[in-house]
Amino acid sequence: MKRRWTLSTKALTVVGLAALVALVLPSAGFAQDEAPEFLSQQNGNVMWTLIAAILVMFMQAGFAMVETGLTRAKNAGNILMKNMFDFSAGSVAFFLVGFALMFGDDIGGFVGFSNFGLSEANTADADGLWGYTFWFFQCVFAATAVTIVSGAIAERTKFVSYLFLSFLVTAVVYPISGHWIWGGGWLSQLETPMIDFAGSTVVHSVGGWIAMAGALVLGPRIGKYTKDGVARAIPGHNLPLVALGVFILWFGWFGFNPGSTTAANGNIGLIAVTTNLAAAMAALAAMCTAWLRYGKPDVSMSLNGVLAGLVAITAGCANVSPMGALIIGFGAGILVVLSIEFLDKVLKIDDPVGAISVHGVCGAFGTLCVGLFASPDFGGTAGLFYGGGLSQLITQIIGVGAVFVWSFGAGLVLFALLKITVGIRVTAEEELKGLDLTEHGSEAYSGFQIFITE
């Protein structure tokens, strides 16, 4: 009893002191006769955009973990290297060339062409400095697009060809279609400009379609299909890593979507809400779809469901109501499971991590959904279901189609060029032994016994 009494006296003393300080301080402020300083809007924008960019950068870790977990132990080191070096190569390429093609002075609505190597950014004033913040934010987005590719072409691609691909995608392919939508190009000059707020199409579909081109040109992994063409499962080696990666991506997406305001305004909380609701609903929908189709709630399909919802809401996160976000997430969750099965069993495109379905297909789906669910109360644009007619939907369809043709076509050309120059596929022997040993000369799990059951 005594002890408790002493504690509360201490507490009282602290509260008393605090009250005293609070009474004295304001008068001290007035005494100095200075106007109180607030964070200026411009500095607020810099802070929020930079924090968001740092969150998006961390998504690289998420991609690395998802892709490592969903592939075999013998290729873990190779996947990690790819994820590290698409960010490294991508940052350099986007600095030297990519940013200029995406956001430079417009040429005919097709491509930008100025500000190479950030030549126009400067430290003279706040506007010049903003150039650096904006570049960094855009750079992590470009790197996100290219890292999507590594998962779909995992376990069979030559490391050196992937390095070239990373440079070329972030320097040329991603910036050109990005310019059409974000850099003032033709899709943003249409009478009803295309809405892709944070990049369902600009970032995710582009990555997904290049990934599809790559998986097609490479062909499936050895043992993926029987001689009769029946798809076999090649289970990933570490689901805990996949789950960690998905949570990191989910976390990073609160920079990806709310950060795309590139301004510290009141909108960012709403965007976080739509982003989270779509991801949660898509997880539920994907899990239930898998449960109904396979009899069990499949772990890795459910995890893919989260990502599908996140990708789908990215285009409309600032333009749809929370209820709209739930519907978009629900659709994406169902779609991703069906799409993964369709690619695997019908088209016979071997995508070890489901990147084409998650990013390509759900990215396109989410972008189209803006034309349906855009609500005038949230982003000022009305989609078909809110009385806005067909014009927005038509623009979205044109955009999705044009970006598909561009990125899938460019992907086919790039992979074909790499195939006849450095070669894109490792030999059968290297593939069977694993790329860790054959491409990098070291194992990811030295000292562990990797059980071979194939």
Partner 1 sequence: MKLIIAYFRPEQLNAVKQALYAKGVHSMSATNIAGSGRQKGYTETYRGVMIEVNLLKKVRLEVAVKDEKVTETMDAISAGAQTGKEGDGMIFVLDIADARRIRTGETGEMVFG
Residues of this chain that interact with partner 1 (CB under 8 A) are 223, 429, 432-433, 437, 441-443, 446, 449-454
Q: Whole-angstrom Cα distance, residue 251 to residue 258?
A: 12
Q: Quote the tokens at residue 141.
A: 């987005």
Minimum CB–partner distance for residue 439 and partner 1 (Å): 12
Minimum CB–partner distance for residue 226 and partner 1 (Å): 10
Q: Whole-angstrom Cα distance, residue 234 to residue 162?
A: 22
Cβ distance to partner 1 smaller for residue 77 or 245: 77
Cβ distance to partner 1 smaller for residue 51 or 437: 437
What are the CB-based long-range contacts (under 8 Å, 24+) for 304-307? 304/336, 304/337, 304/340, 304/354, 304/357, 304/358, 305/332, 305/333, 305/336, 305/337, 306/246, 306/249, 306/250, 306/279, 306/282, 307/66, 307/246, 307/249, 307/336, 307/358, 307/359, 307/362
User: Which H/E stretch holds residue 112?
Assistant: strand 111-112
Minimum CB–partner distance for residue 401 and partner 1 (Å): 42
Cβ distance to partner 1 smaller for residue 191 or 454: 454
Cβ distance to partner 1 smaller for residue 120 or 443: 443
Minimum CB–partner distance for residue 352 and partner 1 (Å): 17
Q: Whole-angstrom Cα distance, residue 402 to residue 170?
A: 19
**What 3-state class would DSSP assign to 350?**
coil
Cβ distance to partner 1 smaller for residue 30 or 451: 451
Q: Whole-angstrom Cα distance, residue 167 to residue 51?
A: 26
CA dist 187 → 180, 390, 398, 428 (Å): 5, 16, 8, 44
Phi, psi of 352 (to 5 degrees): -60, -30
Minimum CB–partner distance for residue 449 and partner 1 (Å): 6
Displacement of CA 203 from its chain's centroid (Å): 7
Cβ distance to partner 1 smaller for residue 129 or 437: 437
Minimum CB–partner distance for residue 452 and partner 1 (Å): 5
Half-sphere exposure of 226 (CA within 13 A, CB side): 6
Displacement of CA 54 from its chain's centroid (Å): 13
Cβ distance to partner 1 smaller for residue 5 or 448: 448
Q: Whole-angstrom Cα distance, residue 418 to residue 424?
A: 6
- In the chain the first and final C-alpha atoms are separated, in Å, by 69
| Contact of 278 with 328, CB cutoff 8 Å | yes
Cβ distance to partner 1 smaller for residue 26 or 441: 441
Cβ distance to partner 1 smaller for residue 221 or 359: 221
Minimum CB–partner distance for residue 173 and partner 1 (Å): 34
Number of other residues whose CB lies within 10 A of the CB of residue 107: 13
Minimum CB–partner distance for residue 437 and partner 1 (Å): 7
Cβ distance to partner 1 smaller for residue 230 or 452: 452
Minimum CB–partner distance for residue 152 and partner 1 (Å): 23
Phi, psi of 4 (to 5 degrees): -65, -40
Minimum CB–partner distance for residue 430 and partner 1 (Å): 10
